[in-house]
Structures are given as C-alpha cells and as structure tokens.
Amino acid sequence: MKKSLRKMKKIIADNKGLFCTLAFLYVIALGLPLIIEYLVPMPSGKHGDWLNFWSQYLGTWIALTGSSIIAIIVATFEVRSNQRTSLYMFQINERIKYAFELIDLVSEMMLQTEFPVFRKKDASDITVEDWATLVTQVFNLQNAFAQLIPRINSFRYKLPADLVNKFWDVFSQNSGTLKIEEDIIAKAHHIVEAAKLFVKTTDKVKKDKIKNTINDECIGINKKVFELRPQLAGLCGETQKFIDNLELTNNKS
C-alpha cells in the first residue's frame, strides 16, 4: 500500500503541470455553474433548470477527464516500464561487449605462451639459436602482463565485481600467476648472463657446462609457462560462462 502511494506521489510530481491544469479546470467547471445558477435564471425563470443543465454537463466532463487521467497514469507506467526494459537490455549488451573484450585481452596473453619454443620439454631439444628466441618471447610476455593489468582495471566499474575480482585474484600482486611471471623473468635474465659467458668462454668443457645450464633454464621457463596456460584458460572460461548467462537472460527478456 505504501509502495503504491509512493508511486502515485511520484507520478503526480512528475506531471505536476498537467494535474494543476486539470485542478484549475475543475474549479472553473464547478464554480461557474454555481455563479450562473444564482445570478442568471433560465428563460423559463427557474433556477433549477440551470442545475439540471450543468449537472449533465459536469457528469460528461468529469467522465471524460477521469478517463483521461487514468489513460495518462497507465501510459506513464508503460513508458517507464519500457524505459527500464530498454535500459536493462542496454546494460546487458554493454556487459556482453566488455566481457568479450576481457576474453580478447586474456587470449592475447595466451597467444604469447603458445610459441613453439615454449613447447619444448627436453633440454636436448633446445638449440643455441633457441636461446635468443625464448628470451625475446619472455620479455614480450612480460610486456603483455604489464599492459594487461591496467586494462583489466578499466573494467572495474563496467562489469560485476565478482567477475573482475576473479581477474584480480589471478593478476594481483600476491597471486600465484605473478609469482610464475617473476620466476620466468628471473630465469630469462639468468639465460642472458649465462649466454654472455658462453660467448666469451673458449674452454669446451666450461662451454658445455654453461650450455647445459642455459638449456635447463629454458626448460624451467617452459614448465612455468605450462603452469600459466590453464590459469589464463580458466579466466576465459569463467568469462564465457558469464556471457552465456547474460545472453540467456537477454533471450528470456
């Protein structure tokens, strides 16, 4: 009951000018017959004839204005309902768009982990030429991480907190993902330093030892990258579920 009264008050407040006009017309419609009734008699000389005339007039006028007010109220509710529905549909479509953008961001990151050099699992498969390729890709991966985090932050107020928080759980400062990235970067720097020694060293035994150390570091990087992939894929999966639920809601609407 209170809720209905609040709605009625809001409708009156939003259409204040209209209701004031109707009230003014009612005053004229009610006041004018009374004045005429007492000041001007009908040709028959009976004041009651005026009352009969005005009662018919007022009955018709009130019926028309009453139905108009009802029509206005119904139309107002329909317009507001349509506006709410349109806004809701717009919000759903916007969220779907932003969620797809998030998937694209993470997919770009995943692409950085898919280079063939990251797929090698045995130290014997690593060649000297692979060192530079792997280190380059590691630093590209580092740049992708650095760009991804602020871009995720831009979605903080565009998507539900529970979805954005899942991304922050993966990419926050104390997350396991960041620890993996730090380990990968550290190993890449070790490879760079060891490669410098490899070039300078002329002793074959030392050279082979350095080479084995570098190859082991390369495999260590690949293992870390392998740990990274499922976490990124999991984020894409969670986001896709969110999109599917939104699309289902959209279709029901």
Choose the final residue of a domain: 38, 70, 87: 87
pLDDT (mean) for 144-167: 80
Choose the final residue of a domain: 50, 66, 87: 87
Return the pLDDT at 183. Answer: 92
DSSP state of 117: G
pTM beyond 0.95: the answer is no
Return the pLDDT at 244. Answer: 86
Return the pLDDT at 111. Answer: 85
Could you tell me the CATH number of the domain that includes residue 246? 1.20.120
**Is residue 55 domain-shared with residue 142, that is, in the same domain?**
no
Given CA atoms 80, 83, 87, 89 in this order, what sign does their dihedral have? Answer: positive
**Is residue 213 domain-shared with residue 228, that is, in the same domain?**
yes
Host domain of residue 236: 90-252
**Is residue 213 domain-shared with residue 196, that is, in the same domain?**
yes
Query: How many whole angstroms separate alpha carbon 177 and alpha carbon 183?
Result: 10
Number of domains the chain is built from: 2
pLDDT band at residue 149, thresholds of 50, 70 and 90?
confident
Find the helix packing angle between 176-200 and 161-171, rounded to 10°. 30
Q: Is the pLDDT of residue 237 over 80?
A: yes
pLDDT per residue as tens digits for the range 173-200: 777 888 888 899 999 999 999 999 988 8
- The answer to whether residues 92 and 244 touch, using CB atoms and an 8 Å cutoff, is no
pLDDT (mean) for 90-117: 83
Choose the final residue of a domain: 87, 107, 131: 87
pLDDT band at residue 102, thresholds of 50, 70 and 90?
confident
**Is residue 78 domain-shared with residue 119, that is, in the same domain?**
no
**Is residue 118 domain-shared with residue 71, that is, in the same domain?**
no
Annotate 216-232 with DSSP letters as a single string.
HHHHHHHHHHHHHHHHH
What are the C-alpha distances in Å from 90 to residues 85, 94, 186, 190? 8, 6, 46, 51
Return the pLDDT at 219. Answer: 92
What is the H or E stretch that residue 12 is in?
helix 2-14
How far is Cα of residue 198 from the mean position of the Cα atoms in its chain? 51
Return the pLDDT at 223. Answer: 92
